[in-house]
Every structure is written in structure tokens, then in C-alpha cells.
Amino acid sequence: MSPFQTLNLPNGQTIGNRIAKAAMEENLADRQQAPSDALLRLYQAWAEGEAGLLLTGNVMIDRRAMTGPGGVVLEDERHLERFRQWATIGRAGGAQFWVQLNHPGRQTMANLGQQALAPSAVALDMGSFSKMFAEPKPMSQSDIDEVIQRFATSAALAEKAGFTGVQIHAAHGYLLSQFLSPLTNRRTDQWGGSLENRARLLLEVVSAVRKAVSPQFCVAVKLNSADFQRGGFDADDAKQVIQWLNEQPLDLLELSGGSYEAPAMQGEARDGRTLAREAYFLEMAGELASVARMPVMVTGGIRRLAIVEQVLDSGIAMAGIGTAMAVEPHLVKHWREGKNSHPQLPPILWKRKPLAALATMAVVKFQLHRLSRGHQPRPQVSALWALIRDQLYIAKRTRQYKQAMAK
């Protein structure tokens, strides 16, 4: 199948081609956690790049629950005009532009000074890096009810701002993913125990979001095909959750994998499973797509047009591309013009895997921040230098965040 063929979604909307700019965390909010000028410049570059779908990085549903200190928050109307500007820029080239809504759960940095909420009091296990994360508190029924309402409110605000859809983040070890995993969800009430109970929060969130927006507004879910941890959420669990999601009016399902503890989305798995260099989740996604009634998108390591074609020929509806579009924001446009581009970053082979994962994210963010200033990416940047810069930047943004929250 041609990557440049349109995709018809279940709600009647269309995506202009089969390639999406996948979500990457930008950490480019202004001091009020609203979209900054730098963030708008970054998305202008991607809007000009001709991907059919643009997904934002994490947009938080609660400013007390952040994946990082420079994150964007959409919880009320106080900065709706800035979101309107962001939506206008992202849609300028004809792309669908969806907001990725998220809550970090236990993956909350300790130095932000906020209480981490989680299904159960299970702290992250990242060796000496574990202390970087706040001790999680088990969520009460009222906490759960509030999270469901916040996802719905943020979705309605995204539609009001002019975005064309939202993606509910239930992967990568964030809150909804934590509820799905038996390793992190040890509850004995209606929200834990059986897979049906563990999936209840995700299904309730999807239902609440769908009710809060109009039928033509797109609603998608990002789900782990597996957590890549022994005893965790696996492909069989994912298959069953997809069958339950089939009963919901969803427009797209994105499959990824991993968490902070096992960053398979970067090509690393804790259980020793061999992952292909590109399209990490392709084989598993092909099996899962066969049970899905909604279009399926697979994301993870794709950087060549031939791999996109392989993904689509396997029955997957869309290919999501992240890092390669940080290096070459006009990648889809270049492919359409016949250029044989396959951008990549040098691999980081440090022995300490958590540190290597942090450095990998720092190198990607280095490219995003250059684009946000109107500069060209610099893929050969030193990983150590990028990591040091990123840590200094995060420290500054953390101070700003804590000052703003203190007010």
C-alpha cells in the first residue's frame, strides 16, 4: 500500500496520508504551562513537513501531575487562546492535529514537590535512579473519579481550541498503563485484580471523553503491546483490551511498548527479548491489529520509507515516526519528492541503561529545541553534552514550576 494513500476513520474524518508525527515530549511550555512561541515554531516546522497526522507531546490534564516541569497543561480555559494558535499552526498544512492527553501516575519526578498518585503504592525500580521519583500514594475512589473527569474536560477544551482529535495515553508506564499492569496495580477493589478490573479505568476514560466531544472529533488511544517486563502487561492482555476497546467508538489505536523501567520504545527491553532495529513492535502489532476493528498505528524506530511500506503491507493502517522527524521535520515531504532519506541518531551504548535512556531522550530534545529556535537539527551532538544541557534546563524549569505552584 502507498504511504501517501488517504485513511478513512470510523467517525467519517480522513487523514491525508498514512504517516504520523508521533508524540515526543517537548518540555517547551511557557512559565504558565501554556504553549510557548518556541512550541509553536516547532509545530510550524512539522506542519510544513506534510505528515498526515500530528500528535502533540504530553499535554497534562492536571498541573499537579506532570511528566516534566516544562510540560503543557490543558485543564481549564485560562490559556485557550494560546491553544487556538497552536491548533491553527498545526493544521495549516492540512494535517489532522490531535492532543495527546496524559497523567504520569507514579512516573512523577520527586523534585517537582507534588504527591504522586498511582493505583498502588509500588515505587519505580530503577536502581540508584529510583529516588528521582516521588513515592506513589494509592488513589482513592474520588481521585479516580477526578482523573476520569479531567480527561473528559481536557478533551472538550481541545475541541473548543480547534484541534481535530485527542489521543488518550495508556502506554509507556504512565497512569492508565499502571492500572493495566499487574506489577503496578495490586488493588483488590473494582479497579484491580482481574484484567477486566485493571482495564476499567481506561475504558471509563474513553467513554467519558467520547461523551464530552462531538461525533466528528477524533478519539484515539495509545496502548502498550507489552510492557517488556516479566509478569507485566503482555500481548495476550493487550489483545483482550483491544477487544473491549472495539466496543467503544474509537478512531485510531496506536501500539507501542515499554515504560521508564523498561524503555522498549527506545529499543531496550528488560526481559532480554530481541527487538528489531526498526518497527520494534511490528510483529506483535500485526497480530494485535488482526483483532482490532479500528485502524491501528504502530510506532517505534521507523525511519525508512521501505519500513513504512512494510508496516502498511502487514495490515497496519498507519506508521508513527518520532525521532526521525526530530532530525528531519520535513521527512514525509522529502519522501514524497522521491528523496531516499533515512535520518537517525547515533546509538548510545552506555553500560548504565537508565542513564543511556535519559541521554537518548536528551539528544532527541536537543533537536526539538533547535527546531523551536528556527535552527537546523544537529544529530551528531555529543550525548553527554546533550544530557548535561537537558539536566540544567530541567533544573531551571523545575525551579520555575515550583515557584508558580507556590503562588
DSSP state of 260: S
With beta carbons less than 8 A apart as the criterion, state whether 294 and 253 touch. yes
The overall average pLDDT reported for the chain is 92
CA 274 to each of CA 30, 160, 238, 269, 277: distance values in angstroms, whole numbers, following the listed order: 40, 44, 19, 8, 9
With beta carbons less than 8 A apart as the criterion, state whether 219 and 165 touch. yes
User: What are phi and psi for residue 61, nearest 5 degrees?
Assistant: -90, -5
Residues 200-242 pLDDT 10s: 999 999 999 999 999 999 999 999 887 667 778 888 999 999 9
* Average confidence (pLDDT) over 293-309: 92
Q: Assess whether pLDDT exceeds 70 at residue 265.
A: no
Q: Where do we find the cell 517537582?
A: 112
pTM score, whole prediction: 0.94
DSSP per-residue letters across 215-242:
TTSEEEEEEES---STTSS-HHHHHHHH
Angle between helical axes of 37-47 and 80-91 (0-180°, round to 10): 20
Q: Three-state DSSP class for 16?
A: coil
CA pair distance 398, 402, nearest whole angstrom: 6
With beta carbons less than 8 A apart as the criterion, state whether 219 and 168 touch. yes
Q: Tell me, what's the pLDDT at 274?
A: 33
Say what the alpha-carbon torsion angle 162, 164, 166, 172 is, to the nearest 10 degrees.
-110
Residues 63-110 pLDDT 10s: 999 999 999 999 999 999 999 999 999 999 999 999 999 999 999 999
Residues 76-85 pLDDT 10s: 999 999 999 9
Please give the radius of gyration of the chain, using alpha carbons only, rounded to the nearest integer.
Answer: 19
H/E segment holding residue 98: strand 96-102
Domain ranges, ordered by start, for the chain? 7-345
Q: Tell me, what's the pLDDT at 270?
A: 40
Which superfamily does CATH assign the domain made up of 7-345 to?
Aldolase class I (3.20.20.70)
Q: Three-state DSSP class for 30?
A: coil
Query: Grid coordinates standing for 374?
Result: 528556527
